[in-house]
Amino acid sequence: MTGVLNRMAPSSALTTICKRFAGSGRSGIVALLWALIASACVLSVASAADSAESFSRMDLLDNQRPIRADDRLLYQVIEEQAPAVTLLVDAQGRVRIPLVGDVEAAGKTCYALAREIKPLLEVDFFHRATVVVELQSASMRQMATVYGQVRSQGRITLPGDRPVTLSAAISLAGGFSEGANRSNVSVIRRDAENPEKEDRIVVDLKEVQEKGMVEKDILIQSDDVIIVAREDVIGGQYSVHGAVNSPGLYTINTRDLTVSRAILLAGGFNDVARQTRVKLTRLKDDGSGKSDTFYINVRKVYDGSRDEDMDIRPDDIIRVDERILVF
């Protein structure tokens, strides 16, 4: 019986069972019940297999390159049984998704964007949605991110026709806001050969602007993170960026602030955060400007292992990477 059911749609399978056992008396009713149980098991297994296939296909999406403004994306929902469509990421880093509307895309990977769209579609339109997002053509536009005491925090576009200095990047973010510590501007830059490694460069832009020391005005590279500290902050500041819901620069206003608490204050992890390996970059105490790097399993902390946590110090930088899936 189950061999037949495997080849039939649920409604036709149920009709066949009822016809076969109708009018067979008590023994027929018992047999009917067993047949219905077998049918439910088959359909449940099939549903679970479909669900696993859905996630497996999405897990193969790119989870390394961040989407940028002007990228062209191929978008498809497999259950819709329609060809993939091309979507353009606009200058603000947003993309218009059919049935969903505008969604922030810049800075996320194709995998992260697909995972974000999936539950939105499953609210009203699909019982299960297998969302495929792939890069069709890459933008030549270069982007950086600015946090802290500037007039317009967030991602900025670096002009492609000329080099961009740190002071020029600050201007692209609207310039310094009131209270900016121009003597303490940090640039966080990933090593091109080793993405696990980050360099921290601290620049005194006050000297650049007031003393003409242009040699200190470093050139900004694509995907740099620029952090402008606030002047005269009691307790100091720290930054959180990467796979959290509200990245940015924060003030230390308690003596008990830890990495796990700092992530909660930054809105918590997003859906694709690598919670088991959160990076903490801290300036050395010797005044050399060099940094030490620590890794914290924040997932363990939330599960009760407090020994994994670390206290936050002024100028600490917390980075939460996205999970990288290996097959």
| pLDDT tens-digit series, residues 28-54 | 555 555 555 555 544 444 444 444 455
pLDDT of residue 49: 45
Residue 327, pLDDT above cutoff 90: no
pLDDT of residue 92: 79
Question: How far is CA 144 from each of CA 158, 253, 301, rounded to the nearest angstrom?
Answer: 7, 28, 31
The answer to whether the beta carbons of residues 182 and 206 sit under 8 Å apart is: yes
Residue 65 pLDDT grade (very low, low, confident, very high; cuts 50, 70, 90): confident
pLDDT of residue 146: 93
Boundaries of CATH 3.30.1950.10 in the chain?
72-137
Boundaries of CATH 3.10.560.10 in the chain?
141-232, 234-327
* pTM of the complete model: 0.57
pLDDT of residue 13: 46
Q: What helix, strand, coil percent values describe the chain, rounded to 5?
A: 30, 30, 40
Residue 98 pLDDT grade (very low, low, confident, very high; cuts 50, 70, 90): very high
* Domain made up of 141-232: CATH architecture: Roll (3.10)
Average pLDDT over residues 2-12: 41
Average pLDDT over residues 13-24: 51
Residue 20, pLDDT above cutoff 60: no
| pLDDT tens-digit series, residues 219-271 | 998 889 999 988 877 778 899 988 899 998 899 988 789 999 999 999 999 88
Average pLDDT, the chain: 80
CA distance 20 to 13: 11
CA distance 142 to 223: 8
* Beta-strand relationship, 317-320 and 237-242: parallel
Place of tokens 């995972």: 115
* Domain made up of 72-137: CATH architecture: 2-Layer Sandwich (3.30)
Q: At what angle do helices 10-21 and 25-59 cross, to 10 degrees?
A: 170
225: β partners: 145, 188
For residues 302 and 55, which has the higher predicted lDDT (pLDDT)?
Answer: 302
* Cα within 13 Å of Cα(80), Cβ side: 17
Tell me which residue of 258, 216, 221, 224 sits closest to 241, measured CA to CA: 224
pLDDT of residue 232: 76
pLDDT of residue 15: 52
Q: For domain 234-327, which CATH number applies: 3.30.365.10, 1.20.1250.20, 3.40.718.10, 3.10.560.10? A: 3.10.560.10
Neighbours of 18 (CB within 10 A): 12
Going by C-beta distance under 8 Å and a sequence separation of 6 or more, which residues neighbour residue 95? 73, 87, 88, 89, 102, 103, 105, 113
In the structure encoding, which two tokens stand for residue 61, read together?
């999406």
For residues 47 and 109, which has the higher predicted lDDT (pLDDT)?
Answer: 109
Sequential DSSP letters for 26-60:
HHHHHHHHHHHHHHHHHHHHHHHHHHHHHHHHHHT
| pLDDT tens-digit series, residues 267-294 | 999 887 889 999 998 888 887 767 888 9
Sheet containing 248-251: order of strands: 248-251, 237-242, 317-320, 278-283, 291-296
The answer to whether the beta carbons of residues 238 and 311 sit under 8 Å apart is: no
Lowest-pLDDT range of 158-167, 191-200, 217-226, 287-296: 191-200
